[in-house]
Amino acid sequence: MPDTNIAQPLRRQVLLSILVLFVFGTLPVILIGTTSVDRIDRKAAAREKSQAVAAVERRFERLAVEQRNATVWDEAVGKVAVADTAWMENNVGVWMQEYFGHDMSFVLDPALTPIYAAAELETRSPDAFDQVEGVVAPMAASARDMILQGDIAPEEIAVTSYVTLATGPAIASVVPIIPDTDALDVVPRSTHFHVAVDYLDDTYLAAVTEGLALAAPSIDTRGGSRHGVVAMKDARGTEIARLTWRPSAPASDLVAAMSPALLLWLGGGALLVFFLARRLIGTSYRLQASEAHARHLAFHDPLTGLPNRALFEDRLGQALAMADRGGADVTLLMLDLDRFKAVNDRLGHPAGDELIRQVGERLASRIRRSDTVARLGGDEFALILVGDVDAAAFDAFCKDVIVDISRPYDLFGEAASVSASIGASRARPGEDAGELIRCADIALYQAKDKGRERHCVFVDGMGARSPMQGRWEQAHSFTWIISTMGFILH
């Protein structure tokens, strides 16, 4: 018969040893697991906030950029000087609201007196300026002072600020109306000004969070939120609104989902510890894959898979830098589809998207590995050709591209056809990306003026164009000057 006096202490000793080993084996795992979960959640929250800050800043700066599409223009200077209401409605008022989604538009004379007003897609009495005068008048005065002092180039002057109106928080921007050529000699004191107002409403929220995976985003004017926050402050530094959302906590969500397994692990031991570790490693891999996917989306067009404007500008800059150091020559082609709108209107947006995707495939099949084809937005594409190409071969290449683009398309069972116009420019020593793009753009306008479905190579002296050409350029060129923020290329 076993000695119970010995068995009981031995049992207690074994149980105590197992308990001590389990506790000291479990506590570090729990501590490490808790720390890892917190670090992953903090990293995810920091990444979300960085992306949200960049999106808010882009939207803030975009307002003045959109205004300049119609305010840096010889014709605009002349029309506002004579207070042509119909022209202002169709170019800097109702049209601008329809095209860019602005909520209010005003034109002020040199004395900062309103001569035109538009709101809710309708031309209003200039007295409508009274609704915003209290916050906008000081901004307009500041812009006028900049013009008169002459320390800043007129085309770079913009006074933009978050403001509080009777209707709620908004972004207001004041830019001067100035010529885009030397044909007009405008005295600074006779400068008119354009005012644009964009409410921080649901439309703004949808635009600023587009492409961001934010949970329950909202514009909060009350403060006190414990969620993710990007503050929007007026010129005096006073917070008038904030973008809020519920920060993602991928690791915490994972732990919550695994709570039954964690309970089993506490009673089961090493097998479930191994399972938990493997799951955490798998989660880490998934997070890294998600981050890599997000980086890819940041620099590629989601419809065609081609490089977007940000990656295009980076590659163009790199190609020009290499050319300046004695590398291969660089040729830029700007391609615009002809009659795309007719196809889009006739067959609908899904068919239009499919056509854009097929055009991207055809263009990608035409270039070498050293070249780049990018979609800049809408029906605009760009090709960067790196290497020496003689004139005859280049001419044949452009013609082949146009022929290829002009072949019929099968769009969900419906046949459709478009053509293409190409503007090209060869980089000259020391020429920067902006100048090369401008020259190719001018050549593109020339190709369109000559009947479309053709290509044109930029030559010196080609810059002159008619008022109709200038009007077309101002209506579309905003996509060339919107900068992409929040990402750094490596």
Q: Please give the pLDDT value at position 184.
A: 87
Q: Report domain extents, the chain.
A: 63-207, 309-481
- pLDDT tens figures, 347-372: 999 999 999 999 999 999 999 999 99
Q: What's residue 485's pLDDT?
A: 35
CATH number of 63-207: 3.30.450
* Rounded alpha-carbon distances, angstroms, from residue 174 to 101, 197, 236, 268, 435: 16, 9, 17, 68, 27
Element (H, E) at 58: helix 4-71
Q: Select from 437, 446, 442, 360 the least CA-distant residue to 401.
A: 360
Domain 309-481 in the same topology as domain 63-207: no
What was the pLDDT predicted at 435? Answer: 94
Decide: 428 and 350 in contact? Cβ < 8 Å.
Answer: no
Burial readout 67-96 (b: 16 or more C-beta within 10 A, e: otherwise): bbbbbbbbbbbbbbbeebeebbbebbbbbb
Please give the single-letter amino acid code of residue 305: G
**Residue 331's pLDDT is what?**
95
465-466-468 Cα angle (round to 5): 120
- Give tens-digit pLDDT for 288-327: 667 767 787 889 999 999 999 999 999 999 999 999 998 8
Please give the positions annotated as active site. 379
Residue ranges of the chain whose pLDDT lies below 70: 1-19, 21-25, 29, 224-226, 266, 269-289, 292, 463-490
Domain 309-481 has CATH 2.60.40.1120: no
Contacts by residues 318-322 (CB-CB < 8 Å, ≥ 24 positions apart) = 319/384, 319/386, 319/427, 320/427, 320/431, 320/432, 320/433, 320/436
What's the Rg (C-alpha) of the chain? 30
40 Cβ partners below 8 Å, 6+ apart?
Answer: 250, 251, 283, 284, 287
Q: What pLDDT is attached to residue 273?
A: 46
CB-CB contact of 191 with 176 (8 Å): yes
Report helix angle 349-364 to 391-406, nearest 10: 150
pLDDT given at position 467: 37
pTM above 0.85, yes or no: no
